[in-house]
Chain A
Amino acid sequence: MKIFVLNCGSSSIKYQLFDMKKETVLARGRVERIGMDTAVLSHRTTGKEEVKQVASILEHTAAIKKVLAVLTDPKAGAIQSVDEITAVGHRVVSGGEHFSESVLITDEVKTVIKQCFDLAPLHNPPNLMGINAIESILPEVPQVAVFDTAFHSSMPPCAFLYAIPYILYKRYRIRRYGFHGTSHKYVTTRAAQLMKRPVEDLKIISCHLGNGASITAVKGGKSVDTTMGFTPVEGLMMGTRSGDLDPGALLYVMSKESLGVGEANAMLNKHSGLIGVSGISGDMREIEEEMAAGNQRARDAFDMFVYRIRKYIGAYAAAMGGVDAVVFTAGVGENSPAVREQVCRTLECLGIEFDDEKNKNSEKEKEISKPSSKVRVFVIPTNEELVIARDTMEVAARVTESRRERR
């Protein structure tokens, strides 16, 4: 069974082809600068040389056709024909309140994805473009939507409601949705495997620290709270996003600087966070370098970043009534020993005994707490594509099954 996984952005597409027998990646690649005359396709079939093509690719259907062509290329490709693809899985950022799990894509599902454009204006429109493109090229192949929001649909109302007039929830569905669900689900499931305990028995705090960052409290395998909210701006301090902020301060700035909605939105999303405070960069690696060189604003930004994470770990331990494991994942979470150390240091009160040596070694997936630690701490590289592939296989298998029964 071969599953093709697509993550379509506005001007880029990332893809992987899985053989689900052993969950191996047959090929992976990306198309960048879609819409331009100099779009770039880079593709690597496992065990072969990387292929790069520069061509005029003006929209998503053309881009996906190119990808399928290279996938079936006798020299660079991984399969003989597109018929070998059993199903296609799509990452879809927002499913609003409609989906608690991955679903087979139908016209109704497409309509809902469209209705959620307002909730994820940068992501849902290109996600749908990718779906439509596959539909036109491979009309017979089942497609599955895997939503970033689905994992968080288990949050209770006390965690997802905001304390503003209830009518606003009713009218515009203003509530916490959360993001990065697929990643949080993967690393917490994996942590349970590493602990050799059923995930149902565990309380895990999962820290997805990438360019966008969120922490999720996962109790018994279910998300019970997460830091990102109605939009991805809430919660942790991020590369270029502010995270939590007094809404009163925002209103004050808007009136003082006569900012419009668009400007205020860009300020919070692109000019805040690490780059806003440090004035240097939104990239944690550069912040750490500058900090080592003695730059005070870089240090302030780093300290704030770490402090927020500690604060939420404490909050979620209280929210769940305890914690069994803390997991770090994504760019910063996987690659910054300094961030992990500063977050976990002096958390003995919570039961964390941190292991400096293990934290600094070069293993990718590892445990970084001492054997005696009551709470175990892990670094687990995230693998959203694999979750999408698994879900897609499962949903598609159910569909094929029911089709067979009908015959």
Chain B
Amino acid sequence: MDLHRIGIVGAGTMGQGIAEELAGKGYDVLLADKTPAILEESKQGIELILDRKMEKWAITEAEKRVALGRITLSTQLMDLGDVEFVIETITEELDAKKELFRTLDQICQKGVIFASNTSTLSITEMGAVTYRSDRTIGLHFLNPVSKGVVEIIRGLKTSELTFKTAREFVESIGKTGVEVFESPGFITTRLIMPLLNESMYALMEGVASAEGIDTAMRLGYELSRGPLEMADRMGLDSVLVAMERLFRDFGDLKFRPCPLLRKLVRANHLGVKTGQGFFKYDEAGNKLPEEKIAQTV
């Protein structure tokens, strides 16, 4: 199946990243969200991603213009009537996603596959509210979207053809797809969250400084960033939501959110997006040189 026109609903960080990536690979993208203001912000976000790539010589000015030209913005879900594949990247709430899929089920053509970018929610439940549970699937792009892997999640009713099409689509944009059978947190979220959480415990217990923990893990296991900085970049509020969901779904104590995480979220120290989490960051998201943040928390 040859896809050309992809609809993305939800123009937040992930929506922007996926739109940019797809446009760069030659797809026409319709990016939809609720208000013109959000879309305006997402347009700037996409330009920023492209500018960063230009600074690193990854693309040229002309390629940037071509990519931008392939992305259309809309506040009308009705505009998704002619897309061939839908990816939703709206807020990580099951009811909202169900509602969206129910609406899109009426708008989109029959054969169109619905993919959710959820990192923890049930694809089966989302598909159940549509007449296309066999054509509902999970495509979990990681943050930032430029990473090379996408988890492809089969819901209980996802058909073989849907899975195959989704895998081909993922490969067509130069990423590796990993097949996952529906389970809370899939692979990546389930495995990374306890690591982040445990690093916070280690910090809280005074085992080492934040810088020390990150340095040891970064160099010791060839990570490009340490776990605490990783948490800062994901957003500590998002980390907390994910931990709570894993804790609830598995009922296992190993997923209990670290009290220090709760404390930082309550203080609105959410990481890169508020300029402070376990470390401090400038406007562009660069980590500021070592500070005595560990003691201040």
Contact = CB atoms under 8 A, between A and B. Distances in A.
Interface of A: 35, 58-59, 257, 259, 262-264, 266-267, 270-271
Interface string B244-256: 0000000000000
Contact of A271 (B2, B4, B26, B60): B60
A104 B26 CA distance: 33
B60 A270 contact: yes
Contacts of A264: 57
24 contacts: A35-B4, A35-B26, A58-B2, A58-B4, A59-B2, A257-B56, A259-B56, A259-B57, A262-B58, A263-B53, A263-B57, A263-B58, A264-B57, A266-B57, A266-B58, A266-B59, A266-B60, A267-B57, A267-B58, A270-B57, A270-B59, A270-B60, A271-B57, A271-B60
Nearest to B55: A257
Interface in B52-100: 53, 56-60
B13 to A, nearest CB: 21
Contacts of B58: 262-263, 266-267
Contacts of A263: 53, 56-58
B59 to A, nearest CB: 7
Nearest to B56: A263
Nearest to B70: A36
Given A266-B58, A267-B57, 14 more contacts: A35-B4, A35-B26, A58-B4, A59-B2, A257-B56, A259-B57, A262-B58, A263-B56, A264-B57, A266-B57, A266-B60, A267-B58, A270-B57, A270-B59
Contacts of B56: 257, 259, 263
B104 to A, nearest CB: 24
Contacts of A270: 57, 59-60
Contacts of B59: 266, 270
A33 B56 CA distance: 27
A264 B60 CA distance: 13
A148 B11 CA distance: 45
A35 B28 CA distance: 10
Instruction: Among B2, B57, B60, find the residue whose CB has the most chain A CB atoms closer than 10 A.
Output: B57
Interface residues of B, number: 9
A263 B60 CA distance: 11
Contacts of B53: 263
A286 B69 CA distance: 26
B145 to A, nearest CB: 14
Contacts of A262: 58
A266 B59 CA distance: 7
A35 B27 CA distance: 10
Interface string B12-28: 00000000000000100
A263 B63 CA distance: 14
Nearest to B59: A266
Contacts of B26: 35
Contacts of A35: 4, 26
A226 B94 CA distance: 61
Nearest to B60: A270
B287 to A, nearest CB: 13
Nearest to B63: A270
A257 B60 CA distance: 17
B117 to A, nearest CB: 23
B225 to A, nearest CB: 12
Instruction: Among A259, A263, A267, find the residue whose CB has the most chain B CB atoms closer than 10 A.
Output: A263
Contacts of B4: 35, 58
Nearest to A272: B57
Interface string B26-66: 10000000000000000000000000010011111000000
**Those 7 A-B pairs whose CB atoms lie nearest each other, nearest first:** A267-B57, A263-B58, A271-B57, A263-B56, A266-B58, A270-B60, A266-B57
A45 B31 CA distance: 44
Contacts of B2: 58-59
Instruction: Among A58, A266, A267, find the residue whose CB has the most chain B CB atoms closer than 10 A.
Output: A266
A1 to B, nearest CB: 36
A262 B56 CA distance: 10
Nearest to B224: A258
A248 B139 CA distance: 40
Nearest to B62: A270
B142 to A, nearest CB: 16
Contacts of A59: 2
B16 to A, nearest CB: 20
Instruction: Among A259, A262, A264, find the residue whose CB has the most chain B CB atoms closer than 10 A.
Output: A262
A181 to B, nearest CB: 28
Interface string B161-172: 000000000000
B119 to A, nearest CB: 24
A263 B58 CA distance: 4
Nearest to B26: A35
A392 B4 CA distance: 35
A271 B59 CA distance: 8
A267 B58 CA distance: 6
Contacts of A267: 57-58
B53 to A, nearest CB: 8
A27 B57 CA distance: 40
A58 B26 CA distance: 12
A58 B4 CA distance: 9
A267 to B, nearest CB: 4
